Amino acid sequence: MNIAIIGTGYVGLVTGVCLADRGNHVICVDVDEQKVFAMKGGKIPIYEPGLEEIFKENIQDKRLFFTTSLEEAFKESHLIFLALPTPSGQDGSADLSHVLDVAQAIGKSLKEYKVIVNKSTVPVGTSEKVRDSISQQSRGAPFDVVSNPEFLREGFAVEDFQKPSRIIIGSGSECAVELMRKLYKPYTDRGIPLLVMKERSAELTKYAANAFLATKITFINEMANFCDLTGADIDSVRLGMGYDGRIGHRFLFPGIGYGGSCFPKDVKALISSGKELGYDFQILQTVEAVNKKQKVLLADKLLKYFKGSLKDKKIALWGLSFKANTDDIREASSLDIIEKLLLSGAKISAFDPVAMNNVKKHIGKRIHYTEDMYEALSGAHALLILTEWSEFSQPDFKRILDKIDQKVIFDGRNLLDPKEMKDLGFYYEGIGRKINR
């Protein structure tokens, strides 16, 4: 099929590359001329495991193309995917300006039947707004609008697209649904369920899923904090909980709060949508408030250890991205922790396998960056582990001891073994499990 992808951010690029890899002819549109030029030359703009290889393969095999021209993309496309940013406004609501501006541009160019597929995460009722925006400009040309939410995890996006848990199609049009069934037939033939529902239900399903996962993460973080007070061990607690089939083990790993481009934004948007309709999402407001505190928990623990002052203290940070296997730092706990440490007088030396350039763009040279995880420890009074990169879970402790000034580790991802830390003479605190010298 001929497909246009409008927007080459995280969702748009992964969607375009993976659909091209299934044999479709895909043309991706972005307003950033430099970005489009780079992608045409085979340079991928994001870090995502497994994506670069199929990105280059499909460019070479002439199934994947890039342009800044909307009209060029519309001309031959059966399906037009909107994968545009919907950032949070000051009141937490989703900003739909990018989506609706492109919808108007589609209307002006529309001459024959097209299906406009909303891949962006949008509030309930957005499909109707897109339909109205197109209709105002289209002069009666036929089209349908479909809601097709994405469920991609950063770090596993290619796998999630190629082996989705479910495919959701929100549409009341038989013609549009059949086109979408045809597009996703390679997946449904393998037994992956395709659920057809109304547009509003599809839109809310994405928000509901992300809000529930954010709540689950926040709950286990609350339990971990309570474990610190009671002497219970969160690892034992979460295992005992997870074997209950109604709960499950996934998203029951305590840490320093959720971040990224989805959970924070979607929780805010759902709260805002509720307020517009006079509904008070009390659970989600609490989730948001608890997560805000959790993001700086490690800084609070560190300040307590050093009696409230970090003046002249060098603190090493391992991990800057909001999670492993991505260079995404949006809403990353590391940024909140860095600000609090700097305000407390600390000097910071940091390492991350892929996210350091993004942090440099965000905060500049206010901290020191190292190209080696052990070099960050040189002369440090404490190490904070902020991201669950695999190389941090089995470090060379001899090299740590050779570099670090004080044997102090605060583990925000519970990667290290508390007993081993105690045996090595470290002061060690994780999240919900505390074993000291």
Quote the pLDDT of residue 138. 84
CA distances from 25 to 54, 157, 343 (A): 14, 20, 52
Token code pair at residue 253 = 């790993």
CATH number, domain of 274, equals: 1.10.1040.10
Residues annotated as catalytic (active site), given as ranges:
262
**Tens-digit pLDDT profile for residues 303-318:** 999 999 999 999 999 9
Q: Quick one: 312 and 374 in the same domain?
A: yes
Residue 161: strand, helix, or coil:
helix
* Residue 238 near residue 216, CB atoms below 8 Å: no
Q: Quick one: 361 and 275 in the same domain?
A: no
Q: Quick one: 276 and 384 in the same domain?
A: no
Quote the pLDDT of residue 76. 83
Q: Interior CA angle at 67 toward 64 and 71, to 5°? A: 110
Residue 315: strand, helix, or coil:
strand
Distance CA 88, CA 331 (A): 12
Q: Quick one: 393 and 330 in the same domain?
A: yes
Quote the pLDDT of residue 90. 87
Bridge partners (DSSP) of residue 317 are 350, 384
CATH number, domain of 424, equals: 3.40.50.720
Q: Quick one: 73 and 214 in the same domain?
A: no
Q: Which residues contact 290 (CB under 8 A, 6 or more apart)?
A: 218, 221, 222
Q: Quick one: 58 and 123 in the same domain?
A: yes
The residue among 162, 197, 232 that closes a domain is 197
Quote the pLDDT of residue 436. 54
Q: Whole-prediction pTM value?
A: 0.92
Structurally, the chain folds into a number of domains equal to: 3
Token code pair at residue 279 = 């509904």
The residue among 197, 216, 248 that closes a domain is 197
Residues of the chain predicted below pLDDT 50: 437
User: Nearest 5°: phi and psi at 368?
Assistant: -100, 135
Q: Quick one: 84 and 136 in the same domain?
A: yes
Find the helix or strand (DSSP H, E) in which 349 lies.
strand 347-351
Distance CA 80, CA 132 (A): 16
The residue among 249, 268, 293 that closes a domain is 293
Quote the pLDDT of residue 437. 41
Quote the pLDDT of residue 435. 61
